[in-house]
Amino acid sequence: MNTVASPAPLQTTTFLNWIGNKDMPAASGKTFDHISPIDGSVVARFADSGEEDARRAVELARKTFDSGVWSNAPARSRFEVLRRVARIIEDNKQELAERMVLESGKPVSTAMGEIMGAVKTFEYYAGATLDLEGSAISDRNPQAFGLILREPVGVAAFITPWNFPLLNPVCKIAPALAAGCVVVAKPSHLCSSPTVLLARYLAQAGVPDGVVSVITSQKDRGAVVGQYLSSSPLVDKVAFTGSTATGRAVMRAAATNNKKVALELGGKSANIVFEDADLDTAAATAIAAFCYNSGQQCSAGTRLLVQRSIYDDFMERVLAQAGKQIVGDPRDAATTMGPLVNREQYDRVRGHVNVGHDCGTLLTGGSRPDDSRLDDGLYLMPTIFGGVDNQSRLAQEEVFGPILAVIPFDDTDAAIRLANDSAYGLAGGVWTRNLDRAFKVIKGVRTGKMFVNGYNNVGIDDMPHGGYKDSGVGREFGREGLAEYQQVKTVQIKLA
Ligand code: NAD
């Protein structure tokens, strides 16, 4: 599990599109270079695809779905493929981790955790294929019999970001394949190789030609491909993970043929600490909640709501914990925070440090690590602003970097009000030993998931994930994630 990626740079590898179970160059013949956030070196090259490539993949996917080669295959054969791919991913975890670390800068321990998450997700949906069933209605009318069938949605297109470059495509592709869909995936230009490698592993596991295609592109052409996939009438469902603004563009484009849409978008989640909590555990977890993956996670607890009666005491503990983060080369097994993913993201997050000075008091961070070995990388220390007003920009805008806004509150009603005073509703945490208070907060906060006396890593797999409000539409993982790739057909049979 804690295998360390080689600190020696890998040779630049070229990845092409994956169409018809084989590598395929972009129609233009062009490629683009990927620059590592660790030291600015070129670590991969990808096909730079455009609309023509997306059309080719979508037309093949349509033909493949309509042929029934996958959707009508016995569920057990789909089970076998999904079970096999889980093993292949595990066997190739070193290759995957190395690519993820070099391309996205995430620490090797974080990459390994993500890979094992992908393995478990394929295992879960492999099992689900053996339990796909509808229902029957036999007692509402003696002269009629009803059936409720669950059928695959059809061709599903996926548009994913870079922050969890393996798990994001996996939590779409695994349930889609389990349900019998055919897929076209478009990863982010900032970490494309895990999706291409996954498609190769799926072919190795026995997925028939045309069932899984992957199209890569650099930033601007990526938006063109994303719009094509979202608007194509040959696509039945689009599942998108990314920013709220792009999610709106996907939804508008999907209106072309009223296709099914799932959007997993941004967040600004409140982590609420009451005076009766286990303060040491809450402080340590509050740091992990916003520093994990260098804060580049949609569920991050980036608003820390602290009861005023313990504010000073608790913040002392939080600052002590912040000092324990190890910001460094992500190839080093001890590193807990790697660099931000690219220059654009780094400059944006640094811009939020400037915004923070107008919204609260800088308590720690706000600068690069004091280590000349990291000079060529895009590193930022964990940054905490105290005494922040919840109405301020720092408390309202998603930063997607390691910046925490600390907001004091007086009582349970005030905490719930502050937590809900956000356009987003993705996650949230509550720390208390009082069960009544915990339930009041759980029921009062409008988010897709809540943690009690923990945050993010509580240890239950396959729970549905998704947001309220601007955080999105639909759910991924678990049964709800599977249902996203099924259509419901009812049948009414008249009896003689
Ligand atoms: P992004 O919206 O810039 O890009 C996401 C994907 O959309 C990329 O593949 C990109 O190429 C594509 N894209 C860009 N423009 C498009 C367009 N006009 N039409 C269709 N596709 C287009 O997001 P990002 O910077 O890659 O990721 C960060 C964002 O993702 C954050 O806001 C974060 O909160 C969100 N996110 C959400 C979840 C979740 O589950 N809710 C998970 C991870 C990340």
- Ligand 1 in reach of 222 Cβ (< 6 A): yes
What amino acid positions are annotated as catalytic residues?
A: 264, 298
Q: Give the nearest ligand 1 atom to 229 CA.
A: 20
- Confirm whether 163 is domain-assigned: yes
Cα(92)–Cα(384) distance, integer angstroms: 38
Q: Given ligand 1 and candidates 246, 251, 263, 476, which is best to mutate, with the most ligand atoms within 8 Å of its CB?
A: 246
- Ligand 1 in reach of 230 Cβ (< 6 A): yes
Q: Give the nearest ligand 1 atom to 476 CA.
A: 40
- Ligand 1 in reach of 293 Cβ (< 6 A): no
Cα(405)–Cα(394) distance, integer angstroms: 7
Q: Are residues 479 and 457 in the same domain?
A: no
424-439 burial string, b = 16+ CB within 10 Å, else e?
A: bbbbbbbbbeeeebbe
- Ligand 1 in reach of 242 Cβ (< 6 A): yes
Domain membership of residue 140 as a residue range: 13-265+472-491
Q: Are residues 33 and 165 in the same domain?
A: yes
Q: Which residues contact 268 (CB under 8 A, 6 or more apart)?
A: 302, 303, 395, 396, 397, 398, 422, 423, 424
Tens digit of pLDDT per residue, the chain (496 long)? 333 444 444 557 899 999 999 999 999 999 999 999 999 999 999 999 999 999 999 999 999 999 999 999 999 999 999 999 999 999 999 999 999 999 999 999 999 999 999 999 999 999 999 999 999 999 999 999 999 999 999 999 999 999 999 999 999 999 999 999 999 999 999 999 999 999 999 999 999 999 999 999 999 999 999 999 999 999 999 999 999 999 999 999 999 999 999 999 999 999 999 999 999 999 999 999 999 999 999 999 999 999 999 999 999 999 999 999 999 999 999 999 999 999 999 999 999 999 999 999 999 999 999 999 999 999 999 999 999 999 999 999 999 999 999 999 999 999 999 999 999 999 999 999 999 999 999 999 999 999 999 999 888 999 999 999 999 999 999 999 999 999 999 999 999 8
Q: Are residues 320 and 348 in the same domain?
A: yes
Q: Are residues 250 and 302 in the same domain?
A: no
Q: Are 178 and 128 a contacting pair, CB within 8 Å?
A: yes
Q: Whose CA is nearest to atom 15 of ligand 1?
A: 223
Cα(371)–Cα(457) distance, integer angstroms: 30
Q: Whose CA is nearest to atom 28 of ligand 1?
A: 242
Q: Whose CA is nearest to atom 4 of ligand 1?
A: 242
- Ligand 1 in reach of 227 Cβ (< 6 A): yes
Cα(285)–Cα(311) distance, integer angstroms: 16
Q: Can you tell me whether residue 32 is helix, strand or coil?
A: strand
Distance of CA 171 to the CA centre of its chain: 8
List 328's β-bridge partners, or say none: none
- Ligand 1 in reach of 298 Cβ (< 6 A): yes
Q: Are 241 and 52 a contacting pair, CB within 8 Å?
A: no
Distance (angstroms) between ligand 1 centre and the Cα of 142 equals: 52
- Ligand 1 in reach of 400 Cβ (< 6 A): yes
- Ligand 1 in reach of 292 Cβ (< 6 A): no
- Ligand 1 in reach of 160 Cβ (< 6 A): yes
pLDDT of amino acid 11: 57
pLDDT of amino acid 6: 45
Identify the H or E element spanning 231: helix 219-231
Q: Are residues 487 and 368 in the same domain?
A: no
pLDDT of amino acid 484: 98
Q: Give the nearest ligand 1 atom to 471 CA.
A: 41
Q: Are residues 212 and 303 in the same domain?
A: no
Closest of 321, 310, 272, 246 to residue 421, by C-alpha: 272
Distance (angstroms) between ligand 1 centre and the Cα of 160 equals: 6
Q: Are residues 280 and 426 in the same domain?
A: yes
Q: Are 401 and 296 a contacting pair, CB within 8 Å?
A: yes
Q: Are residues 300 and 221 in the same domain?
A: no
The angle that helices 219-231 and 51-67 make with each other, rounded to 10 degrees, is 40
CATH code of the domain in which 144 resides:
3.40.605.10
Q: Whose CA is nearest to atom 14 of ligand 1?
A: 223
Q: Please give the single-letter amino acid code of residue 176.
A: A
Q: Are residues 249 and 310 in the same domain?
A: no
Cα(263)–Cα(243) distance, integer angstroms: 9
Q: Please give the single-letter amino acid code of residue 288.
A: A
- Confirm whether 479 is domain-assigned: yes
Q: Are residues 252 and 280 in the same domain?
A: no
Distance (angstroms) between ligand 1 centre and the Cα of 78 equals: 29
End-to-end CA distance of the chain: give it in Å, rounded. 62
- Confirm whether 467 is domain-assigned: no
- Confirm whether 89 is domain-assigned: yes
Q: Are residues 393 and 378 in the same domain?
A: yes
- Ligand 1 in reach of 226 Cβ (< 6 A): yes
- Confirm whether 496 is domain-assigned: no
Cα(206)–Cα(268) distance, integer angstroms: 41
Q: Are residues 479 and 369 in the same domain?
A: no
What sections of 17-147 are H helices per DSSP? Answer: 51-67, 75-91, 93-104, 108-129
- Confirm whether 8 is domain-assigned: no
- Confirm whether 7 is domain-assigned: no
Tokens representing residue 218 in the block: 């650099």
- Ligand 1 in reach of 243 Cβ (< 6 A): yes
- Confirm whether 443 is domain-assigned: yes
Cα(58)–Cα(233) distance, integer angstroms: 10
CATH code of the domain in which 436 resides:
3.40.309.10
Distance (angstroms) between ligand 1 centre and the Cα of 243 equals: 4
Q: Give the nearest ligand 1 atom to 298 CA.
A: 34
Cα(400)–Cα(83) distance, integer angstroms: 34
Q: Whose CA is nearest to atom 30 of ligand 1?
A: 242
Spatial strand order of the sheet with 144-152 comes to 135-137, 144-152, 486-494
Distance (angstroms) between ligand 1 centre and the Cα of 265 equals: 7
Number of domains, the chain: 2
Distance (angstroms) between ligand 1 centre and the Cα of 247 equals: 7
Phi, psi of 16 (to 5 degrees): -105, 180
Q: Are 211 and 180 a contacting pair, CB within 8 Å?
A: no
